[in-house]
Structure 1
Amino acid sequence: MRMSDANLGEHVGRKRYSLPELFRARYSDTQRYLIIWIITGVACGLAAVAFHHSIQFLFSGILGLARHFGGGSPIILGAILVAAPTLGGLVSGLILTYLAPDAAGSGIPQTKTRYYRDFGIFRLSEVAWRFIIGVVSVGSGISLGREGPTVHLCSALASNIGQFFGLAKKRVQAMVPLGMGAGIAAAFNSPMAALFFVFEELLGDFSGKSYFGIIISVVIASAVQRLMTGEHPAFDLHLGELTTAPWMLLAIPLGILAAFVGKAYVEAILRIRARVTLQSKMPKWIKPALGGLIIGLVGVSVMFLSEGHLGIFGIGYDDVTSMLNGHLNLFTVALMLFAGKFIASSVAYGFGGSGGLFAPTLFIGAMLGGMMGIIGQHLVGYDNEIIGAMAMLGMGAFFAGVIRCPMTSIVIIWEMTRQDSLILPLMAGNILAWLISSRLQSVPLYDSLLLQDKISLRKMPDYQGDQDWRNLPVSTIMTFEPATIQGAKTLKENLEELKKLGLKHHAYPVVDADARLIGMITHHEMQEHLLEDADKPTSEIMSDREIISLRPESSIRDVAQILVVEDVMQAPVVSATDPQKILGIVTLHDIARQQNQIDQALGR
């Protein structure tokens, strides 16, 4: 029950109350949440605009410096443009290594982890460090975008607002979608796409219980952004009115092409990241700097060969705008920008840089669609407006193929370009790209990045459904870095060590001195042989039974069948290229647990 104003004043006179306590006393729950949602929208809108302008200010300053000192000397100009992302990578690498490791990458995987695993609890320092590193990294010319970091920044800000007002854990968790939606809305000036992205990428379903708060924060953040930067869409277009015509059928082959190129792009990011960031022995802090050096060299090479195009550096939206308006109609230039951005952004992310993948995905998609339009111009005589329109369709299809949020991909392109006549081909190409890419790679990009970080996806979003989850790779539910026992140690030593660690599982992988898999042994077998063979090495006690091992890419359905047929409760998951390198372990309990979670989500 609320205190009356008189009683509230009387209590305040006797005791000093915190702001959250006064807030709870004066307002009803509905009023309190409404005020918190409005505060969140305003704060996220201001943070997103400040982040955008800070990146733009730094990047413009670097370009101005390069042109001032290198105006008469291509060598000096190129040296400054190579040095900038290298230095930016070095600074961000040092911060990421020693001060803020959670600020690496795009920020969307981190946001999903916090939401599903940590009740949406972010530290306040994450807001500051994400802002600083994002500005240094993207502003210095690292070939990534600001949208993913904006999501992380605003989600962390929303979480801390909820914590400040003393909300319960589940309520703080519910603040994260508000911050995510507000961040996307302010970054792209696309409030409708922001709503779809929150539900497709984070929440996984379109539950009505979450709509109200997200809508309010998105609307407020968009209003703040428009008041400060203007009403114009993300790209300044002058194409005129396009009408439905036969050339729009090109959206179908473009969607197919975007799916396969998107698959290659995702693979490039994951493989470079696995090789460099996760496995390489070089110091962590130097990796982003080395990535910045490669980006600088690629960017300068493309700049000189394309007569001044700088789209490889930073966000690159100036070249995207040029392509969308049909002004960039040279195939060789478009191809250089496409290839350069593909390489530079893959290297930037793979080498541990800080920045998002939305901007490079839209850039590569625009160049891909634009190249198809340019080919059509040479073969059929299409005018420049159709080149621009094909670039828009390419952006949407490639976004759908890489990010794998089909509704977001349609709405975001429409909101950023405001071309109503392109809705039908946009829908056709995007859905086709999404369907094919889903077949080519069952785990979406952001979830694959989480798996590389050994974060299990047992609590998968509800949208995976009761049919789809069985086709996912077993790596999504396996336990990473399982408890192992040393084959050279005695049974007694291993059992004592397990007892000290408080571990008791059904079975354990047995490894040699180099941590290579040599077998499996159950806890029951160890106990059974303890009296007679306590001082024997564990490797001599193991049965001669063949090791039943699994590959990380095997589907959950196939793994369940293997475990049942082989009559084992668990099996180690090993590398596809090295059958003795253990990556994790999966049990029948893991699979049953996942089925129970799906049944609960579907209300069975």
Structure 2
Amino acid sequence: MLKQQIARPRVDSVRFRLIFQGFLVGIVTGIVVSLFRLCIEKLLGLVQISYIHGHVKTFCLMLVVNLVLTIFVGWLIKSEPHIAGSGIPEVEGQLQGKFTFHWWPILWKKFIAGVLSIGSGLFLGREGPSIQLGAAVGQGIASSFKQHGSKNRALIAAGATGGLAAAFNAPIAGTMFVLEEIYHNFSPLIWLTSLSSAIGANFVSLKIFGEVPILHMVYNHPLPVNLYGHLLLLGSILGLLGFVYQRVLLMMPKLYQLTKLPRAFQGVIPFVLVIGIGFWQPKLLGGGNNLVLALGEHHFVLTSLLIILVVRFLFSMISYGSGLPGGIFLPILSLGAVIGAIYAGIMIRLGWLPRIYLTNLIIFSMAGYFAGISKAPFTAILLVTEMVGNLTNLMAMAILTLVAYLVVDWLGGAPIYESLLQRMIVPQRISQPQHFEQIEVPVFEGSVQDGQQVRAIYWPSEALLISIHRGSQTILPHGDTMIYAGDTLLLLVDASHMAQVRRQVAELLKPPT
């Protein structure tokens, strides 16, 4: 009798369908991004060989080729302005309802322009374009399944996750990055769909590129606790330099305006300057993953490291500031690695650090520098761990990452992609037909609204609370319904106010500071 009274749990068919569709998005994204990686690697290798065996005729040829690339890539950007830069702010804006894109032009134009820009040796990363390519794939598959609203956004987020997973063979970090930095919401529907996409994309990537981590570095000596003081000092340095990176990067568009060149064709500056770097040090070209590996395998003279730091910092700014398609993940990681190598080199020379911990600080610095600039510490730790392929000393990495994050926060630094997005948004809202979307907002532990009735909360006028998800239950709310930490609120909002409402509700529900 008791068994008959126990209700059998209802299977959530919507969730299972989205997980399956997310996996499909991941497989297709894995194929697209893996092809993107292969094209960049082949082109970059060809360019480096040309510089190594180059002479005066090679210089003239590269100048002509790069000027032609400037015109062609500029034409692509002019025809579709949203393929410029990394593409991550565009994806973030798309998920917040601020942008609406046609996925096919974004997909093929970003692919071609990204390969030509990154493969030519500019200090740009492949991860941002890979995320945007994945988001375009997710949007395309969502449209084929006739998905709209929250389900459409779930598949776009899944595509973005798969893009990062395939770019770096980092499925867990890819999922965390989308949740922490792009979607800003740990909705179960989003993270399950994103994780299934990351698994599918990473499976394809591993089959094509093999199972060796991209930045595989061996360090078998955990940093002892009595040396943790270095983490505080180095973390502070990384935080300070990370804040400088943010400020300079955000200044670059204004500096480029002084050239009076059309925005779409400002790439002529890095395309010409890269020729000099190519003849000087062809192995420095590209996003920087080869440099990171070299730092772990060879001992560099301190003077050389300082020169590399200055050159990579300046030309990373010039490359990304021009608006050419390319990301900043790898350039940030490589700069962090160089900073860590410089710090360790100085401490080793002073006798304050044993040489066996050099690699430790290089690896930790990548995570710390990235965490400070992106304000995404969990992603930073997971990303570097997956890319290096070593779980040793996570505690030390977490401490340094937290210190760098706090220093940037104390200095007033904001997440770099959020800052870039804010600069893209047109102040005047363009008039568009009214339609409604559903958004999910979590209630965190410690929220001031924990234990409050629905009627006691001052909800935004542009939103309507339509349901509350509590574990596996779905509750239809009324005025007396209590809200508790751990709930996920489903609101119906005017699409044109979606980002604003999400911020207002998150402010209502956030824990007191």
* TM-score, shorter chain, exceeding 0.5: yes
Is 1:150 the equivalent of 2:130? yes
Is 1:292 the equivalent of 2:271? yes
Post-superposition CA distance 1:449-500 (Å, at most 9, x none): 12222346999997999x99xxxxxxxxxxxxxxxxxxxxxxxxxxxxxxxx
Aligned equivalents of 2:274 and 2:265: distance in 1?
14
State the shift of 1:283 in Å. 2.3
The one-letter amino acid of 2:283's match is: L
Q: Which of 1 and 2 has greater Rg?
A: 1
Query: Residue 203 of structure 1 contacts residue 461 of structure 1 at CA under 8 Å; is this kept in 2?
Result: no
Aligned equivalents of 2:66 and 2:208: distance in 1?
29
Tell me the residue number matched to 2:407.
Answer: 436
Aligned equivalents of 1:42 and 1:419: distance in 2?
26
The one-letter amino acid of 2:44's match is: F
Is 1:332 the equivalent of 2:317? no
- Pick closer, same or farther for the CA change 1:238–1:122 going to 2, 3 Å: same
The one-letter amino acid of 1:413's match is: V
Aligned equivalents of 2:400 and 2:63: distance in 1?
37
**Which of 37, 54, 58 is the equivalent residue of 2:39?**
54
- Pick closer, same or farther for the CA change 1:229–1:434 going to 2, 3 Å: same
Aligned equivalents of 2:417 and 2:24: distance in 1?
29
- Pick closer, same or farther for the CA change 1:594–1:195 going to 2, 3 Å: closer
Tell me the residue number matched to 1:282.
Answer: 261
State the shift of 1:601 in Å. 5.9
State the shift of 1:248 in Å. 4.0
Aligned equivalents of 2:228 and 2:82: distance in 1?
43
Tell me the residue number matched to 2:283.
Answer: 310
The one-letter amino acid of 1:116's match is: Q
Query: Residue 223 of structure 2 contacts residue 396 of structure 2 at CA under 8 Å; is this kept in 1?
Result: no
Aligned equivalents of 1:213 and 1:595: distance in 2?
23
State the shift of 1:347 in Å. 0.8
The one-letter amino acid of 1:315's match is: G
State the shift of 1:77 in Å. 6.0
State the shift of 1:85 in Å. 5.3
Tell me the residue number matched to 1:571.
Answer: none
The one-letter amino acid of 1:451's match is: Q
Is 1:320 the equivalent of 2:320? no
Aligned equivalents of 2:146 and 2:501: distance in 1?
33
Query: Residue 85 of structure 1 contacts residue 141 of structure 1 at CA under 8 Å; is this kept in 2?
Result: no
Tell me the residue number matched to 1:426.
Answer: 397
State the shift of 1:173 in Å. 1.4
- Which sits farther off after the overlay, 189-198 or 143-152? 189-198
**Which of 76, 95, 116 is the equivalent residue of 1:95?**
76
**Which of 234, 237, 244 is the equivalent residue of 1:257?**
237
Tell me the residue number matched to 2:360.
Answer: 389
Is 1:66 the equivalent of 2:51? yes
1:357-506 equivalences in 2 (<5 Å): 357-380=328-351, 382=353, 384-455=355-426
Aligned equivalents of 1:336 and 1:78: distance in 2?
23
1:193-208 equivalences in 2 (<5 Å): 193-208=173-188
Is 1:178 the equivalent of 2:151? no
Aligned equivalents of 2:103 and 2:63: distance in 1?
34
Q: Which runs of 5+ in 1 are unaligned?
A: 1-27, 469-588
Higher relative contact order (CA 8 A, sep 6+): 2
Tell me the residue number matched to 1:355.
Answer: 326
State the shift of 1:127 in Å. 0.7
- Pick closer, same or farther for the CA change 1:596–1:192 going to 2, 3 Å: closer
The one-letter amino acid of 1:296's match is: I
Tell me the residue number matched to 2:27.
Answer: 42
Indicate the RMSD between aligned Cα atoms, in angstroms.
Answer: 3.3
The one-letter amino acid of 2:137's match is: L
- Which sits farther off after the overlay, 396-405 or 170-179? 170-179
- Pick closer, same or farther for the CA change 1:62–1:257 going to 2, 3 Å: same
Match of 1:224, SS state, is helix
The one-letter amino acid of 2:76's match is: I
Post-superposition CA distance 1:146-198 (Å, at most 9, x none): 00000000011111101011112331111111011111111111111112101
Aligned equivalents of 2:339 and 2:119: distance in 1?
25
Aligned equivalents of 2:411 and 2:89: distance in 1?
21
Aligned equivalents of 2:259 and 2:441: distance in 1?
36
Match of 1:310, SS state, is helix
- Which sits farther off after the overlay, 100-109 or 207-216? 207-216
Is 1:237 the equivalent of 2:209? no
Post-superposition CA distance 1:374-412 (Å, at most 9, x none): 111211175554222211111111001111101001111
Aligned equivalents of 1:34 and 1:402: distance in 2?
32
Aligned equivalents of 1:287 and 1:336: distance in 2?
26
Q: Which runs of 5+ in 2 are unaligned?
A: 1-12, 430-436, 448-496
Aligned equivalents of 1:275 and 1:66: distance in 2?
29
Query: Residue 48 of structure 2 contacts residue 282 of structure 2 at CA under 8 Å; is this kept in 1?
Result: no
Aligned equivalents of 2:65 and 2:229: distance in 1?
43
Post-superposition CA distance 1:220-270 (Å, at most 9, x none): 111111111111111132444445353343121111111111111111111
Tell me the residue number matched to 2:142.
Answer: 162
State the shift of 1:91 in Å. 2.8
The one-letter amino acid of 2:212's match is: H
State the shift of 1:430 in Å. 0.6
- Pick closer, same or farther for the CA change 1:271–1:136 going to 2, 3 Å: same
- Pick closer, same or farther for the CA change 1:91–1:120 going to 2, 3 Å: closer
Aligned equivalents of 2:249 and 2:506: distance in 1?
30
- Pick closer, same or farther for the CA change 1:157–1:57 going to 2, 3 Å: same
